[in-house]
């Protein structure tokens, strides 16, 4: 008997169990989509026609967990962090499904931590709304009822009127039979782990990440701890005053924001009533952050710049809208529901947000969340979503195991992975060549935390794709304020950010762009080319022997000679890997790389013809290879041959081994 034939037989047995009493037990349904059920229904196998007659209407209306609940005759108890659904149902049903490979475990009391579910979400036609009497007769209690007039649908949050644990099959059956209900789903949960954001970053990011000789682009005293902003070339984007987006609103869907934080309060969005957002946990208009996560994200997006205190965001001035759907729990985590997350997105749509930052993930999809994101897409909003932190802090491939909202396929969603300061994909970051778009800094990110939770210093460091996503939200805000990009649609902004990344080896085959967010294209000092006319690539190179770099001296890593017949723009990029020679322990914090039209490079780099392109790497482990690279754009005003050198230096000196690398020069067309 084939797998799908067994599946059909099991589903038939499930339906038969609706009227038969068996001993109850919990079991985990590992079926992730309706594809297998639909494939079974399409087969000309014994019993298939009976299954289709029994479940075809439910298949179109109910989500997978509700369909499984209906078919089992049991009750939907909850879901695991991995996105598997737990059903408390007849023993015979669980065994039949296990034979088909759809049940991963059977018969437990407390097998693992899971999120309990007792609420369902109904989407209904505004012209055929289920009445309260109809719902009451069906034993369904309405907890909340909302109408989205512009989007032409309504929705309800409901539960069993009998206060039953979970969502019983009887409730799912009643929902299936209501003509006004277009679709229904379970209201699943989202959690964020405990935060220890009050620890100082000094032990994680050495002060030497930025040298004392290097001038900071702002007077914010903690600039030297913001390695992430340097990694995305934010200072280049800030050139010529391109650092603010005062008319752009970024909605932060999270744990709220400390809107009184001295580095955030001037950048808070406020409506005519003076409200800074909304709290759907307490159902009030005070989205104060009692956890830290949302405030930290807000600081990376738009901590006030050049104000002489703390840190600076990707954009120095932007309106931050605080939308709270998660609350702090007794164990220090944050928890919320996808229903409330969807309402936050609706609030952002209704109140004119331009960008929505979603630094959270769910292993389960939700019909109301998807409908709300459809509204955001129709409104032209750029939606940024964290790719997620994997399972047990080990990244997973979201091409095969999706995470939401990042894995929804809308053209306005940008899914963001995380890199560390050595430009490596972090071990916890999810990845996916078709489901993740780009990466941004997400480890040891220093930003704002609520003043009420701080011990004197309201700043701290956090790790996660949650920290990477705000870098991209800030970048989108800057684009929407830039005269050359402000008229772009959300999909066009997404495409521009993906096409402007700095590609690095650790992201090859790990995300669509295979690169890290890079804002140098926003710099007024860097011409914006329209066409690649010709490309030059060095041969793969590697040093056969260790190289000793004396303090202040340079090593020539690669060189390319090109000949041009007119003034052109060059876009130059290079990458390689290195480690301390002979497996010794060392520090790369003083390593500098860049390009120059001469070699050796002038001692005073500021006096060199081309400014340095700094890509510091920092590691203190033996036997550790680190990736590094440079990127730069420059105009050549004279026709003829030109040689470009890629060099590195080490301010304190080091003996280095170099792995393979390459250098690429694109000769670009006329500057528009």
Q: Would you please indicate which residues are annotated as catalytic (active-site) residues?
A: 254, 293, 466
For the beta carbon of residue 170, count every other beta carbon within 10 angstroms: 19
Cβ atoms of 370 and 408 closer than 8 Å: yes
Which phi and psi (to 5°) does residue 452 adopt? -70, -20
d(CA 353, CA 135): 35
Tokens 């909202």 map to which residue?
405
* Sign of CA pseudo-dihedral 176, 70, 162, 337: negative
For the beta carbon of residue 657, count every other beta carbon within 10 angstroms: 17
Indicate the burial class of 524 (C-beta count within 10 angstroms; 0-12, 13-18, 19 or more): middle
- Angle among Cα 458, 459, 460 to the nearest 5 degrees reads 135
Tokens 């956090």 map to which residue?
462
Nearest one of 26, 130, 214, 317 to 590, comparing CA atoms: 214
Assigned token pair, 210 = 């930025």
- Angle among Cα 372, 374, 497 to the nearest 5 degrees reads 110
d(CA 67, CA 440): 39
Look up residue 394 and give its DSSP letter.
B
Cβ atoms of 529 and 571 closer than 8 Å: yes
* Cis preceding linkage at 546, omega within 30: no
* Sign of CA pseudo-dihedral 452, 457, 462, 465: positive
Nearest one of 249, 206, 420 to 351, comparing CA atoms: 249
Look up residue 601 and give its DSSP letter.
P
Which phi and psi (to 5°) does residue 349 adopt? -60, -45
- Grouping H, G, I as helix, E, B as strand and the rest as coil, residue 550 is coil
| H or E, element range at 373 | helix 367-378
d(CA 337, CA 69): 20
Assigned token pair, 627 = 């990736």
Q: Are strands 382-386 and 413-419 parallel, antiparallel or unpaired?
A: parallel
Assigned token pair, 463 = 């790790």
- Grouping H, G, I as helix, E, B as strand and the rest as coil, residue 592 is strand
Indicate the burial class of 111 (C-beta count within 10 angstroms; 0-12, 13-18, 19 or more): middle
């Amino acid at each position: 008997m084939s797998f799908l034939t067994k599946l059909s037989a099991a589903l038939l047995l499930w339906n038969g169990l609706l009227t038969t009493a068996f001993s109850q037990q919990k079991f985990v349904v590992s079926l992730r989509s309706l594809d297998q059920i639909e494939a079974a229904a399409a087969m000309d196998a014994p019993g298939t026609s009976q299954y289709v007659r029994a479940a075809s209407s439910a298949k179109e209306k109910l989500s997978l967990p509700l369909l499984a609940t209906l078919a089992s005759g049991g009750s939907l108890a909850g879901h695991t962090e991995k996105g598997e659904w737990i059903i408390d149902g007849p023993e015979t049903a669980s065994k039949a499904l296990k034979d088909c490979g759809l049940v991963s475990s059977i018969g437990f009391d407390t097998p693992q931590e899971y999120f309990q579910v007792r609420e369902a979400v109904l989407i209904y036609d505004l012209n055929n709304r289920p009445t309260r009497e109809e719902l009451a007769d069906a034993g369904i209690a309405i907890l909340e009822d909302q109408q989205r007039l512009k989007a032409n649908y309504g929705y309800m949050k409901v539960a069993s009127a009998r206060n039953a644990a979970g969502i019983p099959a009887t409730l799912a059956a009643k929902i299936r039979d209501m003509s006004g209900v277009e679709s229904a789903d379970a209201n699943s949960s989202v959690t964020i782990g405990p935060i220890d954001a009050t620890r100082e970053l000094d032990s994680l990011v050495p002060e030497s990440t930025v040298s004392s000789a290097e001038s900071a682009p702002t007077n914010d005293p903690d600039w030297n701890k913001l390695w992430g902003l340097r990694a995305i070339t934010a200072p280049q984007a800030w050139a010529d005053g391109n650092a603010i987006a005062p008319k752009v609103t970024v909605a932060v869907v999270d744990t709220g924001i400390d809107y009184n934080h001295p580095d955030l309060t001037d950048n808070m969005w406020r409506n005519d009533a003076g409200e800074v957002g909304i709290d759907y946990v307490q159902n009030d208009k005070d989205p104060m952050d009692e956890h830290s996560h949302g405030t930290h994200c807000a600081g990376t997006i738009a901590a006030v710049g050049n104000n002489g205190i703390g840190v600076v965001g990707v954009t120095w001035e932007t309106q931050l809208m605080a939308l709270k759907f998660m609350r702090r729990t007794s164990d220090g985590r944050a928890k919320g529901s996808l229903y409330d997350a969807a309402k936050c997105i609706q609030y952002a749509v209704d109140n004119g947000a331009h960008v929505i930052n979603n630094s959270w993930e769910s292993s389960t999809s939700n019909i109301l969340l998807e409908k709300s994101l459809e509204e955001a897409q129709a409104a032209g909003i750029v939606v940024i979503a964290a790719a997620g932190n994997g399972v047990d802090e080990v990244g997973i491939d979201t091409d095969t195991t999706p995470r939401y909202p990042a894995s929804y396929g809308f053209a306005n969603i940008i899914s963001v992975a995380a890199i560390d300061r050595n430009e490596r994909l972090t071990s916890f970051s999810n990845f996916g060549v078709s489901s993740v778009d780009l990466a941004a800094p997400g480890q040891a990110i220093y930003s704002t935390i609520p003043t009420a939770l701080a011990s004197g210093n309201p700043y701290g460091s956090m790790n996660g794709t949650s920290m990477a996503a705000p870098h991209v939200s800030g970048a989108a805000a800057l684009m929407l304020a830039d005269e050359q990009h402000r008229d772009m649609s959300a999909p066009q902004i997404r495409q521009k950010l993906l096409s402007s990344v700095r590609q690095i080896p650790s992201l090859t085959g790990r995300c669509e762009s295979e690169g890290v967010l890079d804002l140098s294209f926003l710099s007024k000092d860097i011409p914006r080319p329209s066409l690649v006319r010709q490309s030059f690539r060095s041969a793969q190179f590697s040093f056969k022997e260790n190289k000793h770099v004396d303090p202040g001296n340079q090593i020539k890593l690669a060189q390319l000679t090109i000949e041009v017949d007119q003034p052109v723009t060059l876009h130059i990029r290079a990458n390689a890997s290195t480690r301390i020679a002979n497996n010794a322990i060392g520090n790369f914090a003083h390593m500098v790389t860049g390009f120059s039209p001469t070699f050796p490079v002038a001692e005073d780099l500021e006096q060199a013809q081309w400014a340095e392109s700094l890509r510091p790497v920092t590691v203190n482990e033996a036997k550790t290879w680190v990736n590094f690279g440079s990127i730069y754009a420059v105009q050549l005003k004279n026709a003829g041959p030109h040689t470009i050198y890629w060099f590195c230096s080490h301010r304190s000196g080091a003996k280095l081994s170099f792995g393979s690398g390459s250098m690429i020069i694109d000769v670009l067309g006329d500057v528009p």
